[in-house]
Amino acid sequence: MKKQNAGFTLVELVVTIAVASVVMLAATTTLTSYIRINKQGTDITIKQNEVRIVLEVMEKLAAEKKIAVVDTTDGWVVQDVEEDKPLFSYSNKAIYSGTDTTNPLMNGIETATAELSGDLLMLYVMTEKGNEYATSVYCRRLEVIPTPTEEKTEDPPAQSGNPFSLRSGFSESQSTDWTRILHAEARQNFLSILEGEKGSTGASLTTGEYFSEWYIGGYENNPGWNADTPWCACFVSWALDQCSGDLLTVPKFAHVEEFMDSFPIDRWKTGDPQPGDIIFFDWVENNTSFPQHVGVVTAVENGTVCTIEGNADGEVASRVYPLDDGRILGYGVLNWK
């Protein structure tokens, strides 16, 4: 008997080619969809980073300025009142810096608004693709702790002899009485660590590592985290970690709201702050539902509370507020040993 041919018949070959074509078409469609989705995700990420950077530039320009928002025929201008010049503006679906209206900081904007309420500048941006972004800029015009003079360089009295320089910028009549403060030695150690980072713009002056980088364990495997990530809570957490031996529990937070909520009722207060207490702010005065910033109390004197804060206009800096400032939400007391 003649042996049958083991190859494809014509019908089988046609069917095989048809099936292969369908499989290839499906694979191509899936790959094309993946590429499109991936590109869309990349485009969104790029736009988010672009908006974030632009908003940070606007925040930096508006900080420490006496400003006004001026409406124009096709947008608005945030004006530096004292120097009578524009800080940034919005027109023709783009945001510009200063007087330069030829090179936009960002374009592709559907709408943008700027509203000034007291010292709070509220910015809102919606892109042409419908993505919305908002931020609030508190334009601080507060007294900065004076630079120590040679005549006033003595440290305040301390229980342990541990040197403490934060208070050296004040006169002797303003020095904190550390003898009446519980856990004075541990609190002084904490404040000394904070003071050692004075002037930092986000990276530790002692280690070179960014505070947000320390918090997240490195930027490389954490998309969305970088040197521009808001870092006021990361800074306080970093300093607490440096003196962890003085604490029963060591808070570690990047989000201010979570940080504030971590304090139980018996370690939360709305008055009587002490050096070393954690201070929380909401820049929208008397809106007690959303803390936006955190720092550490360094002293309470003459009706004011003195602080040291990370990311205060982009750096570690000292600030002074009235004790009855409506933007102060309250104080968290650390769990000292």
Which domains does the chain show, CATH number per domain?
Answer: 44-138 (no CATH), 150-332 (3.90.1720.10)
Our measurement of the distance from residue 114's CA atom to the centroid of its chain's CA atoms, rounded to an integer in Å, reads 20
Cα–Cα separations (whole angstroms), residue 328 to 219, 270, 285: 32, 8, 8
**How far does Cα 272 stand from its chain's mean position?**
27
Burial of 289 (0-12, 13-18, 19+ CB in 10 A): exposed
Q: What is the pLDDT along the chain (337 residues), one digit of tens a residue?
A: 444 455 556 656 555 666 566 556 555 555 454 444 444 444 545 555 556 666 666 666 665 567 788 888 888 888 877 778 888 888 888 888 888 778 887 888 888 888 776 556 777 788 887 777 766 565 543 333 333 333 333 333 333 333 333 333 333 333 466 777 888 889 989 999 999 999 999 999 989 999 999 999 999 988 889 998 999 999 999 999 999 999 999 999 999 999 999 999 989 999 989 999 999 998 876 555 678 899 999 988 888 999 999 999 899 999 999 999 989 999 999 999 8
Contact 67, 87 (CB under 8 A): yes
- Quickly tell me which residue has 């009587």 as its tokens: 272
**Alpha-carbon gap, residue 104 to 177, rounded angstroms:** 53
Place of tokens 């790959």: 31
Residue 10's contacts (CB-CB under 8 Å, 6 or more residues apart) are: none
Give the number of C-alpha atoms closer than 13 A to the C-alpha of residue 58, restricted to the C-beta side: 31
CA–chain centroid gap for 2, Å, is 84
